[in-house]
Amino acid sequence: MASLSFIIGIIGNIISVLVFTSPIKTFSRVVKKKSTENYKVLPYITTLLSTCLWTFYGLLKPDGFLVLTVNGIGAVFQFIYVALFLIYAPADKKIKLANTVAVLNVGLPGSVIAITLLAIHDNSTQLIFVGILCAGLTIAMYASPLSSMRTVIKTKSVEYMPFSLSFFLFLNAGIWCIYSVLIKDFFVGVPNAIGFVLGATQLIIYTIYKNKSKMLVKSMDLMREESPTELVKATIEMRANDQEINLKNRSLNKGNSMPKQQVSGQYSMPKITKTLSFGPLSDFNHQLEKNVGFKVLLLFNR
């Protein structure tokens, strides 16, 4: 049983490292654009706090080597991500973000370590105290992407909820659930069971809105590319028709300037001229061309 738990723990370490490295693509985009855009900093702040305390828990626990190593690696990665957020966050948000990091990622872990070592002397009591805090923070870590899920549902776009992070969080929670059962660690088991459910929810939401995002982008592209073309084509056709009508009018006017034979009153010149007049049709085409041209101008100036 001990060897099986160690193997599962090694697998959990590998998957956890994949979880910690999955945002690298996101932060390469942040560095490239020199902007945090709409990415949420809360998941990284809570994960940094969680990994710091789990590292401390692994130090206190006699057989906590695997917990110690994986969370120590995670703390390093999360520290880098939070630092990048501080560098590239908008100027008006940097002070607020720096204060949050100082309280949650410096003050709180320092206070927990100080209280545990100075005020609590029994090792089992220390493990219970730190274990409860770690379990609560792990639940917060798994729940923190809920803000991203709300954004996905509201915007019907999965752009700011990376699939790799959601997938590896789901997988990571499942593996550590199995590990906690094997070593009978309640503090590891409960938060990861909750994380497993939340991770599955994220994947379901991603699957639903991924297709809707593609359809929305496709429809917007069609509107941008095809509609102006059709309107331009219509405008050209209307101009051609108007020019043709103008040529006919000129021919008729030229014909009217030549000597005319006498006709009966039934076919008098006023009636013929009135019958052959193209004025109303030309005005209509001019107005239609004007309206279509105005719509084209609006589309290209968006």
Which pLDDT belongs to residue 14?
93
Do residues 253 and 174 both lie within one domain?
no
Do residues 235 and 247 both lie within one domain?
yes
258 lies in which domain range?
A: 224-300
- Angstrom CA distances, 69 to 6, 66, 118, 130, stand at 13, 5, 24, 17
Tokens at residue 154, please? 């509201």
Do residues 60 and 175 both lie within one domain?
yes
Query: Confidence class of residue 157 from pLDDT cuts 50, 70 and 90?
Result: confident
Do residues 231 and 207 both lie within one domain?
no
Which pLDDT belongs to residue 73?
95
Taking alpha carbons only, the member of 151, 140, 137 closest to residue 40 is 151
The per-residue pLDDT for range 83-133, each reduced to its tens digit, is 999 999 888 888 999 999 999 999 999 999 999 999 998 999 999 999 999
The more confidently predicted of residues 113 and 215 is 113
Do residues 201 and 263 both lie within one domain?
no
Query: Confidence class of residue 166 from pLDDT cuts 50, 70 and 90?
Result: confident
From 159, 186, 221, give the residue that closes a domain: 221
Which residue in the block uniquely carries the two structure tokens 């008729």? Answer: 252
d(CA 111, CA 108): 5
From 188, 221, 254, give the residue that closes a domain: 221
First-to-last CA distance in the chain? 66
Has residue 217 got a pLDDT over 50?
A: no
Stretch 272-298: mean pLDDT = 44
Do residues 101 and 194 both lie within one domain?
yes
Which pLDDT belongs to residue 263?
44
In degrees and rounded to multiples of 5, residue 36 shows phi and psi of -85, -5
Stretch 184-203: mean pLDDT = 89
d(CA 228, CA 114): 67
Residue % of the chain over a pLDDT of 90: 34
d(CA 122, CA 42): 34
**289 Rama sector, left if φ>0, alpha if ψ -120 to 50, beta otherwise:** alpha
d(CA 113, CA 158): 39
Has residue 196 got a pLDDT over 80?
A: yes
Has residue 162 got a pLDDT over 50?
A: yes
Do residues 117 and 254 both lie within one domain?
no
Has residue 218 got a pLDDT over 60?
A: no
- Angstrom CA distances, 181 to 10, 58, 281, stand at 15, 17, 85
The more confidently predicted of residues 294 and 161 is 161
From 200, 221, 242, give the residue that closes a domain: 221
Has residue 203 got a pLDDT over 50?
A: yes
Which pLDDT belongs to residue 202?
85
Do residues 258 and 175 both lie within one domain?
no
The per-residue pLDDT for range 227-249, each reduced to its tens digit, is 455 544 545 555 666 566 566 65
The per-residue pLDDT for range 260-281, each reduced to its tens digit, is 444 444 444 444 444 444 444 4
Do residues 186 and 171 both lie within one domain?
yes
Do residues 53 and 179 both lie within one domain?
yes
H-assigned helices in the chain: 2-21, 24-33, 42-60, 65-88, 91-101, 108-119, 123-143, 146-155, 163-183, 186-256, 269-276, 279-300
Which pLDDT belongs to residue 167?
84
Has residue 37 got a pLDDT over 90?
A: no
Has residue 302 got a pLDDT over 90?
A: no
d(CA 178, CA 71): 18
d(CA 8, CA 26): 29
d(CA 13, CA 66): 7
- DSSP symbols for 246-300: HHHHHHHHHHHTS------GGG-HHHHHHHH--HHHHHHHHHHHHHHHHHHHHHH
Taking alpha carbons only, the member of 192, 201, 187 closest to residue 145 is 201
Which pLDDT belongs to residue 243?
62
Do residues 267 and 229 both lie within one domain?
yes
What's the number of domains the chain is made of? 2
Do residues 217 and 286 both lie within one domain?
no
Which pLDDT belongs to residue 108?
94
Neighbours of 252 (CB within 10 A): 13
Which pLDDT belongs to residue 284?
44
Q: Do 56 and 130 form a contact (C-beta atoms < 8 A)?
A: yes
Stretch 195-200: mean pLDDT = 88
66-75, 163-172, 185-194, 244-253: range with lowest mean pLDDT: 244-253
